[in-house]
Amino acid sequence: MHKVFFSRFIADGSSKNRFDKLLDIFLQLLTYSGGSVTEALNWMNQLDQKHQLTDDAYGIGDFIRDLKEKGYIEDDPEKPGLFKVRPKAGQTIRKRSLDEIFGKLKKSGRGNHRTPFSGPGDETTSE
């Protein structure tokens, strides 16, 4: 009979930091909200309350501060207390989307594709 022991998971330093993990979630929510930073942050707060995404050491307030410092969002001068998306956030969303779509594609060797047409081939001959 096999015995299975469970222990507490201790994350190593190779995993993403807290900001990057929260940024992934935020950018997805920003896409779903149609670019509304306020709505995306409200959803993040709800997710945080339900799933404890943050802790006392790094909370949603710290994450918002980091988003501002890193150029993803800024205060909306026309609507005090609200935020608006900076171009960096849109660029990051587009880049991650392309990586998600094309990142798993592998380069194939020459001639490794199906086609009803014949080509010149790899070798040139005198014929």
Asked if residue 94 belongs to a domain, the reply is yes
Asked if residue 55 belongs to a domain, the reply is yes
Q: Is the pTM of this model over 0.85?
A: no
CA–CA dist 96, 92 (Å, integer): 6
CA–CA dist 65, 95 (Å, integer): 23
Asked if residue 72 belongs to a domain, the reply is yes
Q: For residues 27 and 42, is the Cβ–Cβ distance under 8 A?
A: no
Tens digit of pLDDT at every position of the chain (127 positions): 677 777 776 665 544 688 999 999 999 999 999 999 999 999 999 999 999 989 888 999 999 999 999 999 999 889 888 899 999 999 999 998 888 888 887 776 666 667 777 766 666 666 6
Asked if residue 125 belongs to a domain, the reply is no
Q: What CATH code is carried by the domain that includes residue 24?
A: 1.10.10
Tally of domains in the chain: 1
Asked if residue 8 belongs to a domain, the reply is no
Asked if residue 78 belongs to a domain, the reply is yes
| pLDDT of amino acid 26 | 95
**Residues spanned by the domain of 62:** 18-101
Residues 26-36, buried b or exposed e (16+ Cβ, 10 A)?
A: bbebbeeeeeb
Asked if residue 7 belongs to a domain, the reply is no
